[in-house]
Structure 1
Amino acid sequence: MLNKLQWWQDGVVYQIYPRSFMDGNGDGIGDLAGIRQRLDYLAWLGVDAIWISPIYPSPMADFGYDVSDYVDIHPLFGTLADFDALLGEAHARGMRVILDFVPNHTSDQHAWFTESRASRDNARHDWYIWRDPAPDGGPPNNWLSAFGGSGWEYDAVRGQYYYHAFLKEQPDLNWRNPAVQDAMLDAMRFWLDRGVDGFRIDVIWHLIKDEDFRENPDNPEYHAQMGEHRRLLSTYNTDRPEVHDVIARMRELLDEYDDRMMVGEIYLPVERLVTYYGTGGRGVHLPFNFQLIGMAWDPALIRTAIDQYEAALPPHGWPNWVLGNHDNHRIASRIGPEQTRLAALLLLTLRGTPTLYYGDELGMCDVPISPDQVQDPLEKNMPGLGLGRDPARSPMQWDDGIGAGFSHATPWLPLGADYPRVNAEALARDPYSLLHLYRKLIHLRDEWSALAVGSYRGFSAGPRLLGYLREREGQRLLVLLNFDAAQQVVDLGGMLSGKILLSTTLKRDGEPVASTLLLDGYEGVIVCADCT
């Protein structure tokens, strides 16, 4: 743990998928002006930072993750002046702004790639990963694309293949080239100079590939429903040791500025994930911990995952937790709406920085997408496997009016059918709603330092229960979650006095607690020990 707490340690981060948050100009697509219109909502909710998914110029083959210019704004979202205005207004409300940064690959329409593919002897000929064909004329090796098929695309002009970890329209940069590193660091510096508070670094574990281009081994756990892209283990095209040298350069740049940070998107087992904290202040501030997204909603599994993660963290590593994002099914659809309150309590009371995905505070669910409405290239390339990300990217449900308050135009993705009752305006009127539970939990983190930055200690509560203590400077808080639909009695042992600080029902606050505590089905509580 760092000696001095930073804003990103005790804060709550809120992810905004800009196409879907708020349409400010009436074209059916969210934009920067729309985000500005809703800053007061975010301030009311109490979040400390907003992370904005990519807003750069892009052909939108992968909706902004195919960047054609790293130092400008796509006209769909506005202008640099609009961004500066948003940044200023967020800062005025005490909120930080984290910008998505996509360094692994560019668009095939980026000027760098246009120059690189033009010939084998121009100044940027080795800015991307080019290889001669195999002896049979096919791809250089067996590496696969995460979006299906080979990771190699033949280019007739150069007479070579280029590597793309994702779409063929997203060629991977050659991060072994110091000139590429310098150019990308310059792009980061451009945004830091404008006042951006940090970056979420896209697929950061992909940046360096094996220098010998060795073949990836078979995945022994593969089955067809996983998608073709998981037929092989990504042993040689991800998580290479040299990536940490690249991250160290990024960290060195951020450390030239005050109070800046970076989050790394890393889908790896915990023992590999924690290596991205680096040593000697040279790593990512927060390597994203996605365990709760991928595992079954079971208290024993969750308890084990928490303990293993806490044990694996290096002394300087600060934990973080995520329940949802733009690449995964919504939490309400994964675990069922009746358990969304438990999810809120878990996310906002575990030790570490929580990241909240827009709309999860409302209980938004995946929205069914018919074949003719599909936008996501992942679903188009591998249909029928349930891998499509459109269902979790539907427009934010603001009110029960036209377009759910998101837009008066036809939205780029369909709205959830439940928006007339599941919307921010309606839930804000109901003091017992899920939205008010999120708000109260976020504000409790401000009031009780034990919740935000206190120590974590497991508490044995029962087979369908999860319990843990959060403690700091004389504060002792017990968090209990009942994962069962039936009522359960919890024996508090020596914890003989206290009161309920918060229940997920929002109807038991202040209730005294003695040696036992009755929890309703799917109820969670925070008990303040020794409080009267």
Structure 2
Amino acid sequence: MTGSIEDAPWWQRGVVYQVYPRSFQDSDGDGVGDLAGIEARLDHIAALGVDAIWLSPIFPSPMKDFGYDVADYCGIEPLFGDLAAFDSLLAAVHARGLKLLLDFVPNHSSDQHPWFKESQSGRDSAKRDFYIWRDSAPGGGPPNNWISDFGGSSWEYDAASGQYYLHAFLKEQPDLNWRNPALKAAMLDVLRFWFDRGVDGFRIDVLWHIVKAAGLPDNPVNEAWRPGINERDRLIQLHSTDQPEAHAIAAEMRAIADAYGNRALIGEIFLPNERHARWFGTVEQPEVHLPFNFQLIENDWNAAGLRRVIAEYEASLPPHGWPNWVIGSHDAPRIAARVGEAQARIAAMLLLTLRGTPTLYQGDELGIGVVAIPPERVRDPQELRQPGIGIGRDRSRTPMAWDASPNAGFSTGEPWLPLHDDWRTRNVAAQQDDSPSMLTLYRRLLALRGAEPALALGDMALLDAPEGVLAYRRRHGGRELTVLLNLTAENLTVPWGGKVLISTLNGEPEPGMLFANEGLILA
């Protein structure tokens, strides 16, 4: 690839930073973060060196699933502020040269949305077909065997009308019927509403769910499922997700984004590589710019496994597809909790030096690790419905720690979720000017990525390396950089030379040696 960093689209050369609004900064003392709080902390995000902010849902919601149950797609949840507060935040984001992406939730609404209220009013309702209603199965019971992602049947019986409605998640989140042209038109108008307001793109929630197989046949049984795993996985979601018709809808979304120019669509899609890659669409009919790639979250943490994941993912990409990588999110265990703080530094270097667009999750730049959530403080409906199997999401949604003042500077009231135990020392203020800190490492990595086309846009080649080491080369024009990552807790002999641009450790690198848990970027 040739050309300067500035010539590439921002979504290709840049880095996305995810903000979970409930947990970033509270401005009014109610213990829940809000838009004014995010605006007050924008300088932290800008100083990191990222390029775009993605906000988890901020729309009016009963908060049964903390914003992923939307009651109005074109408003702001009062807990977070109002449209004036949003416009102020958007202007402040743009004033800092950053982009702002919203979280679009197209698969389902809240059961409190006016559309569902009208749909539920009777079988002859004008909006009945905005949702997926079916009669009972012959002999009674749900129309098919589909299981909610949160456990239990995907069907809820409505006694008043004598039919069931479909919900892939909570019963308070009825699925929208994208086969209905009027519903589709209304939802596409939501994109236009926010694009007209100035947003720079969307992360599209569970995009691969939005169309169901005609006839709604039973899903096949997953013979590998065992108790203690998410009940959802008892079936293979063959007919309830990833239907061919969904791609045409994604292409319509892309056409709208492209009509506004310099916008981006990121699709949440959990699928094997060959099916995942289809969501790029074709050159003639493109779909999302970036189908989210979660493989650094989903796979074991070792050099051989990571090498395989990287090689197979890169090989699966179509010629027009651009890769992306994620190591943390509001749904996944924190990276430092998964691999420990020493390897979390390796993960930071990996994320920010691989080919493709990285997404960084708030708090990972501090190295927040395991957070204990007492049973009485659990808020996540997924954990409450299937306790004890390790799928709770509260652990990654705990508040940011800004300083050592009460409640870590997050709020003057009690935070809605507990802070990490070491917040008094693991916070932004404590790490701000500390050269060995995780925050300093992230800033250095992001600054180098922004200055080096080889990292932002360059080609990539995996290199042979000793067992336990992941090595690759990034190249752009005449500039070549090498990345060496020790995925073990042992010192390893690794022949290397050249200038060290960044080490994940604080001491002096030793030529021919990779220290335990050390990562190097070499020129």
Number of the residue aligned with 1:408: 412
CA contact (8 A) 2:474 2:480 kept: yes
Q: Which amino acid aligns with 1:505?
A: L
Q: 1:517 pairs with 512, 515, 523, which one?
A: 512
Number of the residue aligned with 2:353: 349
SS in structure 2 of the partner of residue 445 of structure 1 = helix
Number of the residue aligned with 2:471: 467
In structure 2, distance between residues paired with 1:184 and 1:507: 54
Equivalent residue runs for 1:66-465 within 5 Å: 66-279=69-282, 280-465=284-469
Q: Deviations over 1:226-276 (max 9, x none)?
A: 121110010000001110011011011111101001000011111111110
SS in structure 1 of the partner of residue 512 of structure 2 = strand
In structure 2, distance between residues paired with 1:389 and 1:18: 15
2:509 matches 1:505: no
CA contact (8 A) 1:215 1:236 kept: yes
In structure 2, distance between residues paired with 1:2 and 1:54: 37
In structure 1, distance between residues paired with 2:72 and 2:465: 53
Q: Shift in Å at residue 326 of structure 1?
A: 0.5
Q: Shift in Å at residue 282 of structure 1?
A: 2.1
Structure 1 unmatched runs, 5+: none
Q: Which amino acid aligns with 2:109?
A: T
In structure 2, distance between residues paired with 1:371 and 1:504: 36
Number of the residue aligned with 1:38: 41
CA contact (8 A) 1:398 1:405 kept: yes
Number of the residue aligned with 2:67: 64
In structure 1, distance between residues paired with 2:21 and 2:267: 20
Q: TM-score, normalised by structure 2?
A: 0.98
CA contact (8 A) 1:432 1:507 kept: no
Q: Shift in Å at residue 518 of structure 1?
A: 1.1
In structure 1, distance between residues paired with 2:286 and 2:513: 47
Q: Shift in Å at residue 2 of structure 1?
A: 11
In structure 1, distance between residues paired with 2:395 and 2:80: 21
Q: Which amino acid aligns with 1:332?
A: A
Q: Shift in Å at residue 339 of structure 1?
A: 1.0
Number of the residue aligned with 1:13: 16
Q: Deviations over 1:52-107 (max 9, x none)?
A: 00000000000000000000000000010000000001101000001001010000
Q: Shift in Å at residue 366 of structure 1?
A: 3.1
Q: Deviations over 1:364-401 (max 9, x none)?
A: 12311111111000011111111110011100011111
Q: Shift in Å at residue 429 of structure 1?
A: 2.1
Q: Which amino acid aligns with 1:337?
A: E
CA contact (8 A) 1:369 1:390 kept: yes
In structure 1, distance between residues paired with 2:468 and 2:456: 25
SS in structure 1 of the partner of residue 454 of structure 2 = helix
Q: Which amino acid aligns with 1:525?
A: L
In structure 2, distance between residues paired with 1:52 and 1:206: 21
In structure 2, distance between residues paired with 1:125 and 1:527: 61
Q: Following superposition, which runs of at least 4 residues in structure 1 exceed 3 angstroms of deviation?
A: 1-4
CA contact (8 A) 1:175 1:181 kept: yes
Q: Shift in Å at residue 485 of structure 1?
A: 1.1
Q: Shift in Å at residue 488 of structure 1?
A: 1.0
Q: Which amino acid aligns with 2:17?
A: Y
Q: Shift in Å at residue 305 of structure 1?
A: 0.6
In structure 2, distance between residues paired with 1:521 and 1:369: 31
In structure 1, distance between residues paired with 2:330 and 2:407: 21
SS in structure 1 of the partner of residue 490 of structure 2 = coil
Q: Which amino acid aligns with 2:514?
A: L
CA contact (8 A) 1:2 1:316 kept: no
Q: Which amino acid aligns with 2:518?
A: E
SS in structure 1 of the partner of residue 513 of structure 2 = strand
Q: Which amino acid aligns with 2:468?
A: R
In structure 1, distance between residues paired with 2:442 and 2:433: 14
Q: Shift in Å at residue 220 of structure 1?
A: 2.1
CA contact (8 A) 2:2 2:477 kept: no
Q: Which amino acid aligns with 1:163?
A: L
SS in structure 1 of the partner of residue 127 of structure 2 = coil
CA contact (8 A) 1:143 1:150 kept: yes
Aligned residue pairs, count:
519
SS in structure 2 of the partner of residue 255 of structure 1 = helix
CA contact (8 A) 2:433 2:440 kept: no
In structure 1, distance between residues paired with 2:462 and 2:151: 42
In structure 2, distance between residues paired with 1:70 and 1:366: 34
SS in structure 1 of the partner of residue 331 of structure 2 = coil
In structure 2, distance between residues paired with 1:366 and 1:131: 43
In structure 1, distance between residues paired with 2:434 and 2:374: 33
Q: Which amino acid aligns with 2:209?
A: H
Q: Which amino acid aligns with 2:306?
A: I
SS in structure 1 of the partner of residue 300 of structure 2 = coil
SS in structure 2 of the partner of residue 525 of structure 1 = strand
Q: Shift in Å at residue 506 of structure 1?
A: 4.7
Number of the residue aligned with 2:26: 23
